[in-house]
């Protein structure tokens, strides 16, 4: 059993290599698995990872998330979008916080960027002022 199961309903398969790498950077202290669910085949470079499962399904995202949840083996579970990007060490820090401060019935929300524009913004390393 791994520490974290990450469920990803997906149609944007061209983003999955970078998304998977962001999981590796974000969950660098704990074991994790990723369950991708969607209608399109995912890149072989991602599919061949030992901790990746792919479920081909033509349903909507909520259904995909439920199908992914059935396949999880992790102690903890999170659900993200396929166009997100996780902060470096964010998943590990969240798991550490959960282990230190929470009981099994607690829920902890994790932040991530969603949307390709945010994704490219983070990868570029540029800063941006917010209004």
**What are 77-130's pLDDT values in tens digits?**
999 999 888 888 999 999 999 999 999 899 888 766 666 565 555 556 554 443
**For the residues 21-34, what does the mean pLDDT come to?**
96
Q: φ and ψ at 39, to 5 degrees?
A: -85, -15
The per-residue pLDDT for 128 is 47
**What are 7-22's pLDDT values in tens digits?**
999 999 999 999 999 9
3-state SS, residue 72: coil
The overall pTM is greater than 0.75: yes
- Write the DSSP symbol of residue 41: P
- Write the DSSP symbol of residue 68: H
Count of CA atoms in the C-beta half-sphere (13 A) of 28: 9
């Amino acid at each position: 059993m791994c520490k974290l199961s990450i469920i990803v309903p997906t149609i944007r398969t061209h983003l999955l290599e970078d998304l998977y790498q962001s999981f590796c950077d974000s969950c660098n202290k704990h074991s994790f698995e990723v369950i991708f669910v969607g209608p399109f085949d995912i890149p072989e470079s991602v599919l061949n990872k030992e901790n990746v499962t792919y479920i081909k399904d033509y349903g909507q995202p909520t259904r995909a998330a439920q199908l992914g949840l059935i396949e999880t083996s992790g102690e903890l579970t999170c659900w993200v979008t396929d166009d997100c990007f996780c902060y470096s060490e964010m998943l590990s820090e969240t798991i550490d916080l959960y282990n230190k401060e929470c009981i099994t019935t607690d829920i902890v929300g994790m932040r991530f960027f969603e949307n390709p524009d945010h994704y490219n913004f983070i990868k570029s390393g540029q800063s941006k002022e917010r209004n």
